[in-house]
Amino acid sequence: MSEEKIVKTACLFCPPGCGIDLHVKDNVPVKVESMMECVVGPICIKGEMIPEWFQTELKSRVLHPLQKVKGNWRQITWDQALDTMAEKLTKVKDTYGPEAIATYIGTTPENHDYNYLAQRFFLALGSDSFYGSGSTCYFTKISAGEYTYGGYAPPTLIGTKCMVVWAGNPTESVPFAGDAIVLMKTQQGAKMIVIDPRRTLLAKAADIHLQIKPGTDGALALAFMHVIITEGLYNKEFVEKYTYGFDKLSEHVKSYSPETVAEICDVPAGKIREAARMYAGLTPSTIFQGNSLDTLDNGFQACRGIDCLIALTGNLDARGGSTLMPLHNYYKWAKEDWAKEGLPMPRPGAGKAQGELFYEVTGGPNAAGLYQAMAEGKPYPIKALLVDTGNPVITLADTNYLRAGIDKLDFMAVHDIFMTETAQLADIFLPAASFFEQQTMYAYVGRPMVLLLNKAVEPPEDCWPSAKVWIELAKRMGLQKYLPWKDVDDFHENFFCPRLGTTIQELRDNPGGWFHSKRTWKKYETQGIKTPSGKVDLYSEALAARGFDPMPTYHEPQLSAVSRPDLARQYPLIAITGTRILEFAQSMLLGIPTLRGKIGEPKAEINTETARNLGIESGDQMIVETPSGKIQMKASCTQYIHRDVVSVPYGFGGLQNANYLSSYKVFQPETGNAAYRAIPCRVMKALLGEPAKVVTM
């Protein structure tokens, strides 16, 4: 037996990427601890379960490439798989053009180095049909930040006097941040405001909880600004020196008094005033913004409103406020390098038109275009899809629409660890290595830091890392001169580390993370603000030129009772999907006995009184239906949710797939992000003996 070793890497079961010391013996993880050198952590229960994941769920991984023949899977070799893929992709390219070949990347493609290779492969192929999980969330607020103050400004908690947790639940989604928020409140006396239709754990501990109606956050942000401006609570020095359009914004917010907005948001006007005064009156203040607004069809303008609040109060790039942060976007880098090499760019991918700002900020089209191109052939047909470590049938919006598009494909290959619901629809299955079985580099969100993920465990022989798949497929397609690296080590040592401005050795010498820049404050004083005006654009000429609202403007959700009273008569409640559960990440870890035992079956939350009126009790099976589809799930009746809201958790499959409820036909005009929340719904108790089935619309 071998001796136990400790490998320094990160847990990537969710994007924060907590640093870990992984204890390995006989090529099996036996223990995991938080890495003391890493500023990201400590780990949550997901990280603690890595040894159990290897011992239980990972036992069901697929070990060899598979090909579907007459509806049945048969084992093949990697050579056979790659040759078949090259043949099928070449046929699609010759018949429909290179853009008819698309990929969907499931593991935050902006942050993982191997997706630089994936993007180069597609550029060499001549296709811009390159889609990723960023289409789901995160890039709405990034886009809004770019058009407001020329960058991204995540919250900082140390030194803050007031924390606004807006449309997020970090105790479940980013637990170390949730812990820090609790510590700042309990040990440092910081005030806390929570804005959420659910009374979460943080909401229960908050000084003020605004139990808002889903989809009305933009109106609330404008009411905050109304109070702050009319009562003179804004930072006059910062506003005069560093903002553009304050006079226009001041006039704009006059029509959004707390009394007016109280009717929109279903929140008392007095509490809106109290919260706005608390946020503006305590300096510095910070806003922890969750991903929920990214998944509203009016979310971009809400994010713009929050960004303007940060600027009005002088909390931009301030310790204890929000810090302007450069972003590493690996697959955007590939396009930049391609252009520098003077190589031809492919035509813009399907989805650029639906999400113009998303395309500009990320460097790629939104998945709204993937759906339409597959299902309807607009603006061009997509006939082949390569899915790399993603499960879009579960994690992307509008499962019915997505599956209709997949049905029209000529070919699909999936590279994954497990035979997911997406993989079951594929023609070729390629077995993948896990995070802990490969060497990669991860760029962090909200920190100017890159961490080398050292290989901790040798994968089974036929389970390949993503980088190897793209390098080998390029060879089969005759594109190797564009991906000239012989293997992952060659790529890292001779290209990617120099591209980052570091070396493999320097990354290894800094196991807790290599910082490519220092965190500093008030950079705008010396570096300026990277917007067209050179200031914080409260009024954005750039947005106006593109036909979008130049100031944060509230629009009712497209399917709300106000916008669609006809739907409200049929669907009187409001569904929010995507609710996170601490123990799971998207559709991952559902097969770990300890974690699954903690929650049992997934449950949809519904207000106790609302449920009683429908004859539903906790534990009953109920049908949740929207205009897009319906699911069946157990009810969890609680007083801690808005009376009109039904909250459905995210990541479960089959009958319990929340994305049968969401819609990609309803999306943000600025970014193309789909509506996962603020969807009209109705609920009924499932009849005893009723056959369990997904009912599509």
Determine if residue 217 is left, alpha or beta; phi over 0 gives left, psi from -120 to 50 gives alpha, anything else beta.
alpha
Of 27, 495, 629, 110, which Cα lies nearest the Cα of 326?
A: 110
Of 398, 402, 295, which Cα lies nearest the Cα of 660?
A: 398
Q: Hey, which of 359-368, 376-385, 440-449, 665-674 has the most confident mean pLDDT?
A: 376-385
Q: Which residue has the tokens 């697929």?
A: 62
Mean pLDDT, the chain, integer:
93
Q: What is the predicted pLDDT for the residue at 599?
A: 82
CATH number for the domain formed by residue range(s) 5-55: 2.20.25.90
- Cite the residue boundaries of each domain of the chain with CATH code 2.20.25.90: 5-55
Question: What is the SS3 assignment for 267-299?
Answer: CCHHHHHHHHHHHHHCCCEEEEECCHHHHCCCH
Beta bridge partners of 213: none
Q: Calculate mean pLDDT across residues 10-24.
A: 91
Beta bridge partners of 112: 442
- Cite the residue boundaries of each domain of the chain with CATH code 3.40.50.740: 66-136+331-515
State which fold the 66-136+331-515 domain adopts. Answer: Rossmann fold (3.40.50)
**Cα–Cα distance measured from residue 254 to residue 230, given in angstroms and rounded to the nearest whole number:** 8
**Cα–Cα distance measured from residue 151 to residue 153, given in angstroms and rounded to the nearest whole number:** 7
Percent of the chain with pLDDT over 90: 80
Of 478, 408, 545, which Cα lies nearest the Cα of 96?
A: 408
Q: What is the predicted pLDDT for the residue at 345?
A: 94
Of 303, 46, 289, which Cα lies nearest the Cα of 170?
A: 289
pLDDT in tens, 451-490: 999 999 999 999 999 999 999 999 999 999 999 999 999 9
Task: Specify whether the CB–CB gap between 468 and 488 falls below 8 A.
Answer: yes
Report in angstroms the alpha-carbon separations of 39 from 15, 17, 32, 444.
14, 10, 16, 11
What's the CATH superfamily of 153-323?
Dimethylsulfoxide Reductase, domain 2 (3.40.228.10)
Strand 603-607 vs strand 629-638: parallel, antiparallel, or unpaired?
parallel
**Cα–Cα distance measured from residue 167 to residue 328, given in angstroms and rounded to the nearest whole number:** 25
Write out the DSSP string of 382-400: --EEEEES--HHHHSS-HH
Write out the DSSP string of 659-690: GGT-EEEEE-TTT--EE-EEEEEEEEEPPTTP
Determine if residue 446 is left, alpha or beta; phi over 0 gives left, psi from -120 to 50 gives alpha, anything else beta.
left
Residue 695 reports pLDDT greater than 70: no
Q: What is the predicted pLDDT for the residue at 692?
A: 39
Q: Which residue has the tokens 């006939």?
A: 383
Phi/psi of residue 593, nearest 5 degrees:
-55, -45
Residue 181 reports pLDDT greater than 50: yes
Q: What is the predicted pLDDT for the residue at 691?
A: 42
**Strand, coil or helix: 348:** coil
**Cα–Cα distance measured from residue 87 to residue 95, given in angstroms and rounded to the nearest whole number:** 12
Q: Calculate mean pLDDT across residues 210-224.
A: 97
Beta bridge partners of 164: 193, 287
- Cite the residue boundaries of each domain of the chain with CATH code 3.40.228.10: 153-323
Query: In terms of residues, how long is the chain?
Result: 697
Task: Specify whether the CB–CB gap between 351 and 672 falls below 8 A.
Answer: yes
**Strand, coil or helix: 341:** coil
Write out the DSSP string of 219-235: HHHHHHHHHHHHTT-S-
pLDDT in tens, 374-402: 999 999 999 999 999 999 999 899 999 99
Question: What DSSP character marks residue 318?
Answer: -
Task: Specify whether the CB–CB gap between 558 and 676 falls below 8 A.
Answer: no
Q: What is the predicted pLDDT for the residue at 688?
A: 61
Residue 581, token pair as written in the block: 């559960």
Q: Calculate mean pLDDT across residues 622-634.
A: 95
- Cite the residue boundaries of each domain of the chain with CATH code 2.40.40.20: 565-696
Q: What number of other Cβ atoms are within 10 A of residue 545's Cβ?
A: 10
Report in angstroms the alpha-carbon separations of 546 from 22, 104, 670.
49, 28, 9
Q: Which residue has the tokens 């929010």?
A: 576
Q: What is the predicted pLDDT for the residue at 651?
A: 86
Q: Calculate mean pLDDT across residues 246-259.
A: 98
Phi/psi of residue 66, nearest 5 degrees:
-130, 150
CATH of 565-696, one of 2.40.40.20, 1.10.3210.10, 3.30.365.10, 3.90.1150.10: 2.40.40.20
Integer-rounded Cα radius of gyration of the chain: 25
Q: Which residue has the tokens 């997406």?
A: 422
Q: What is the predicted pLDDT for the residue at 392?
A: 93
Residue 693 reports pLDDT greater than 60: no
Phi/psi of residue 118, nearest 5 degrees:
-60, -45
